[in-house]
Structure 1
Amino acid sequence: MIKLRDSRCLLCTALLTVLTLACRGEKGKTGAIPNGLDSTTSQDIEQQLLTNEGRGELRALLNAAELPGLRWPSFKNYQIEVKEFYNGFDDTLAWIHSSKPTRQARTMIQLLKEADLKGLAPEDYDGPQWNEHLACFDQPIPPSESELVRFDVALTVSAMRYASDLHMGRVNPRLFHFGLDIDHKKLDLSEFLRNNLVNVQDVSATMDKVEPPFPAYRRTIAALDAYLDLARRDDGALLPDLKKTVKPGDHYPGVPRLIRLLELVGDLPRGSGRTFETNTYDGILVDAVKHFQQRHGLAPDGRIDSQTLKELNTPLSRRVTQLRLTLERWRWLSHGFERPPIVVNIPEFRLYAVNNENEVALSMKVVVGRAYRRKTPVFASQIKSVIFRPYWNVPLGIQQKELLPHIQKDPSYLSENSYEVVDSSHKIITEGAVNDEMMEGLRSGTLAIRQRPGPENALGLVKFEFPNQFDIYMHGTPATKLFSRSRRDFSHGCIRVEDPVSLAAWVLRDEPEWTVEKIRTAMNGDETVRTKLEKPIPVLILYGTAIVTENGEARFFDDIYGYDAALERALAKNYSEP
């Protein structure tokens, strides 16, 4: 509380901390309450009526949209909704009845204190201070009406922020120029709190229902809880630096620490019976390292090289952070899809197709955009058509920077690589030599280069189209050797798929005429064939450096694009910062 009269409550002067960031701007009245929420109320104790002075105090706070004593005093981003919320209470407080916090208020406070279990920071909600705030109600001199008003408003603001953050994330993905729209997901927070929190029987169950419904999200929550415990239990020791790659059978002084770590995280079964007193790196310890490598996006060869050592020495607290960032990203997604989506996880270099039971029905390796110059964007769209034996219309940047130097050096470059020069109407200008006039047209962009269909076409034999602002699509590739690499960021931004036949069969599974045999025939025919899907399939191009598989196994990947670091910086800001 603020300025409580009992000296034993001096610590209560620091009221509820406001969450650290909202990049979404002003939040007005928006979307509906999620399905399934219980809006029944229970008025089982006397409401806290306000005097004229109390009403004046409440109005002043709401008009100022600032509450000194909060970590982030300004709540202008929520001012409209907080006002609407209190307009529905007819001169009473929401969380205080009979001069005491309600059962719902205490449950809400407990959720704020335990926000870390959801991947949020309790400190951002003044979590460590709430016990002291509540203790003020047990003092001989009760809080004044002014202090009750301030307590109530602080809890309202924090509850709104917490509910919004659980539902749609703390950071707007538009901050990073991602093609994900969260605005349609906004809750009407004043209605949500008034009808579904302040008098509901089970506050925790209500809050659960605003979270993403995806099984993978729930698995990530469970993994976060496990890794919070692992991080507390780990001694934090580091494996010694390498003089050379440690191979099976080698002596390695880090074996004792390696055993402790791999047993802790579950890659080495506990009670395996080996003590490794000689510090020899062999047997089941090698198998455990292979499993660890597989979980961390490395080639599972059992050799401890510099990259494997880096992952082994990564603090478990960092794994906690990766899981938290993944939870934030899950909250950006729509809560429902008309059809099960196809998902590409960029740092994992992998595609997943999900069935109606939310199970992975198809998985394959992918190649994504280069980390430094050609990053694959994050966005959501729908696959609307499949093209067999596609042309590759070379983007202007690639045409000017990569192909023209080859053409200038080698007059036969076009014909040898199945390229042709076309005008704006796709009329072929030349398939061979390029004269000075054509070269000028290619430089200026009035002429274009495209590659004819065939096995050597850069797009392979299948192209999957989904409209987007980035001109990104999925396709096959003749460069299949790249799929043997553990790190696969080699493209100009589009996504190359390992098994285009299986993906085409999955995408066209509801089109009875498109059998696997017909797909192969179309791929190896003489003509370009485009087929439009009757029911488009959602496609999500996402970025997560931590995932949790269906069997509960946590996997971690390099932050190849630096997006984890950028998201951490954004989450460190307060609610008033853009």
Structure 2
Amino acid sequence: MKSFSKFLILSFVIITISCNKTNKDTIILKKPLQKETAELKIAIDSNTISKFYQTYPKLALYQAEVFKLYKKQGTKQLWLDNKGVVEFGNTLFNKYRGLPDEGLKASFPYNEKINQVFERTLENKLSQIDTDLMITNLYFYYAEKVFHGFDEKTTQSLEWLLPRKKLNYQVFSDSIFHNSAISDSKKNKMFSQYYKLREVLKQYREIEKNGGWKAIEVSNDFKNFKLGDSAVGIAQIRERLYITGDLKENSKSAVCDTVLISAVKNYELHHGKTPKNIILPEHIKEMNVNVSDRIKTIIVNMERCRWIDPELEKGKEFIEVNIPEFKLYVIRDGEISFISPVVVGKAMTKTVIFSGMMQYIVFSPYWVIPQSIINQEIKPGMAKDKDYLAKKQLEWNNGQVRQLPGKNNSLGLVKFLFPNSNNIYFHDTPAKSLFERENRAFSHGCVRVAKPKELAVELLKNDPSWTPERIDKAMHAGKEKWYTLKKKVPVYIGYFTAWVDRNGNVNFYDDVYQRDESLIKLLTEK
């Protein structure tokens, strides 16, 4: 009986193998049928969202947007499938961990919880619902920090009145649905200067990582280095400039040669100084600013870039003034068509950071004197000298004091108006010597232009009836004449102490109004 059973079993095996042979005698081993796993579906509705924010109130800022997002998704999870967190979620977490590369020292309010979701060595104690919601909140947190920066109330407290970039959460929501990049897409483009400064930040962080640069040592009675001089400090200058790329090769020579002088002049040009053929104590002082301080300056200006609407730089024609640079630019069709040095407001009468629309050019203008100047200067002058008004070419006019047109008028021979509540405008000045100074913060708040006639010519280029000769004649007519621009020109007055120019060179400018320190404090505290 046993032998018969063995025979049956052996016969079954042989028959089974024979029946599963191919024409090539290849044996096919059939796999058992597997049941397909159902798609993961987690219901996340308004009730679960409300409960989440009761538990995690520090994220309540994003509640309304999160609710809209899940409603659009059909109250289904966004970041989880049967295998766990989707790849796009891991990409987001890596982006979050890379916030220092964006110049940010920021930490998600529930950092420990979010780390548990992504770190394999940690146990995720969150439910699937809370896990998905936590990742969604990380997404909005990242978008806000990188693409928006401080809120408008904070920036206004910092006296920044330029038009703010609006953060479009809908754009970021669409990115989630398509698992697309959350940065640098056409719809979330930043102000172009942001990307340039971000690259510079990488470079300066690398310099810092390699030890930065050593302080240049000179004696207390040091006056200058000139061509042919020899000193240990000259070799130190050479090394310092080599580290930041102002000098392409470091010969380590302690003799001041033409190569070094040329490199120093290039350095001066990109640090708001007038290039000279000698090396002065002020240049040494500038070079001795350590790399960590330069990094702070870069980070501060990256934050300012977050506040700028990138649409501004797409305008066909606009004027921009960078206060710390003391320069005015006319941009036309994306190219710089005109540059002029400017004088800006003193620390006590700061030029306002704001925008306007230039509408009028006034030739041979009167100067209607502000009440503050009447109180502080004119009334005391009149008290001392009964002929004070006549000597200053001033007159009373309808209860106001104004200065007559002419070459001695404080507004010079022409002014450019973009009506605004700050009463700021551009104008000529008889005090031409101020433009020769490196620090040009001397005005009562308005912007004095070194090349006013040339600016008028540039702005009237498309009006053939206003030739350069006619403009010059109107400026010297001694009679006020108003011209209304055929098309208003946007004006943006900004404040950047670090700026990458169109040749890729980073420029650092003195913080004339001491605005950087308060902003870096806010950034590091947050």
Shift of 1:375: 0.8
Give, as a single letter, the amino acid of the residue that structure 1 aligns with 2:223: T
Give, as a single letter, the amino acid of the residue that structure 2 aligns with 1:60: K
Superposed CA offset, 1:389-422 (max 9, x none): 1100010111110122222222222212211122
Aligned residues of 2:114 and 2:135 also touching (Cα < 8 A): no
What secondary structure sits across from 1:169 in the alignment? coil
Equivalent residue in structure 1 for 2:62, among 54, 61, 78: 78
Runs of 4+ with >6 A deviation = 125-132
Distance 1:566 1:340, change over 3 A: farther
- After superposition, residues 467-482 of structure 1 pair within 5 angstroms as 467-482=419-434
Distance 1:298 1:130 in 2: 48
Tell me the TM-score normalised to structure 1 length: 0.77
Tell me the TM-score normalised to structure 2 length: 0.84
Aligned residues of 1:122 and 1:128 also touching (Cα < 8 A): no
Superposed CA offset, 1:329-365 (max 9, x none): 2222233245422100000101111111x22111110
Report the count of equivalent residues.
484
Shift of 1:529: 1.0
Who is 2:455 aligned against?
Answer: 503
Distance 1:46 1:228 in 2: 48
- After superposition, residues 120-519 of structure 1 pair within 5 angstroms as 120-121=104-105, 123=107, 133-136=117-120, 143=124, 146-172=126-152, 173-182=155-164, 185-189=165-169, 191-195=170-174, 197-204=175-182, 207=185, 209-214=187-192, 216-243=193-220, 244-248=222-226, 249-270=228-249, 274-276=251-253, 279-337=254-312, 338-356=315-333, 358-371=334-347, 373-423=348-398, 447-519=399-471
Distance 2:43 2:472 in 1: 79
Distance 1:51 1:383, change over 3 A: closer
Q: Aligned pair 1:50/2:25, yes or no?
A: no
Shift of 1:193: 3.3
Distance 1:57 1:129, change over 3 A: closer
Distance 2:438 2:201 in 1: 25
Give, as a single letter, the amino acid of the residue that structure 1 aligns with 2:455: L
Distance 1:181 1:329 in 2: 12
Aligned residues of 1:46 and 1:97 also touching (Cα < 8 A): no
Distance 1:376 1:192 in 2: 36
Distance 2:238 2:107 in 1: 35
Distance 1:121 1:152, change over 3 A: farther
Aligned residues of 2:424 and 2:445 also touching (Cα < 8 A): yes
Equivalent residue in structure 1 for 2:512, among 560, 564, 575: 560
Give, as a single letter, the amino acid of the residue that structure 1 aligns with 2:374: Q
Higher mean alpha-carbon deviation, 293-302 vs 373-382, is at 293-302
Distance 2:273 2:191 in 1: 31
Task: Point out where structure 2 has 5 or more consecutive residues left out of the alignment.
Answer: 1-36
Distance 1:269 1:331 in 2: 33
Who is 1:41 aligned against?
Answer: none
Superposed CA offset, 1:21-70 (max 9, x none): xxxxxxxxxxxxxxxxxxxxxxxx98642369x9965441134552xxxx
Distance 1:242 1:392, change over 3 A: farther
Give, as a single letter, the amino acid of the residue that structure 1 aligns with 2:446: C
Distance 2:48 2:201 in 1: 42
Q: Percent of aligned pairs with the same residue?
A: 29
Distance 1:471 1:360, change over 3 A: same
Distance 1:351 1:314 in 2: 27
Distance 1:80 1:55, change over 3 A: closer
Distance 2:332 2:288 in 1: 37
Distance 1:370 1:526, change over 3 A: closer
Q: Aligned pair 1:523/2:475, yes or no?
A: yes
Q: Let me know the Cα RMSD of the aligned residues.
A: 2.8
Distance 2:189 2:448 in 1: 33
Aligned residues of 1:339 and 1:538 also touching (Cα < 8 A): no
Higher mean alpha-carbon deviation, 80-89 vs 413-422, is at 80-89
Higher mean alpha-carbon deviation, 511-520 vs 556-565, is at 511-520
Distance 2:524 2:183 in 1: 28
Shift of 1:168: 3.3
Superposed CA offset, 1:360-382 (max 9, x none): 111110000012x1111100111
Aligned residues of 1:174 and 1:181 also touching (Cα < 8 A): no
Distance 2:517 2:132 in 1: 36
Distance 2:47 2:362 in 1: 67
Aligned residues of 1:107 and 1:204 also touching (Cα < 8 A): no
Distance 1:518 1:228 in 2: 54
Superposed CA offset, 1:67-92 (max 9, x none): xxxxxxx1232222222223333343
Distance 1:62 1:341, change over 3 A: same
Give, as a single letter, the amino acid of the residue that structure 1 aligns with 2:205: L
Distance 1:48 1:514 in 2: 72
Distance 2:463 2:145 in 1: 40
- After superposition, residues 559-578 of structure 1 pair within 5 angstroms as 559-574=511-526
Aligned residues of 1:166 and 1:210 also touching (Cα < 8 A): no
Aligned residues of 1:114 and 1:122 also touching (Cα < 8 A): no
Equivalent residue in structure 2 for 1:93, among 77, 100, 104: 77
Q: Aligned pair 1:62/2:53, yes or no?
A: yes
Aligned residues of 2:197 and 2:298 also touching (Cα < 8 A): yes
Aligned residues of 2:162 and 2:492 also touching (Cα < 8 A): no
Who is 1:28 aligned against?
Answer: none
Aligned residues of 1:381 and 1:468 also touching (Cα < 8 A): yes
Give, as a single letter, the amino acid of the residue that structure 2 aligns with 1:369: G
Superposed CA offset, 1:300-337 (max 9, x none): 22544443222111122222222222222222223324
Give, as a single letter, the amino acid of the residue that structure 2 aligns with 1:456: N
Shift of 1:186: 2.7
Distance 1:235 1:132, change over 3 A: farther
Who is 1:24 aligned against?
Answer: none
Task: Point out where structure 1 has 5 or more consecutive residues left out of the alignment.
Answer: 1-44, 67-73, 424-446
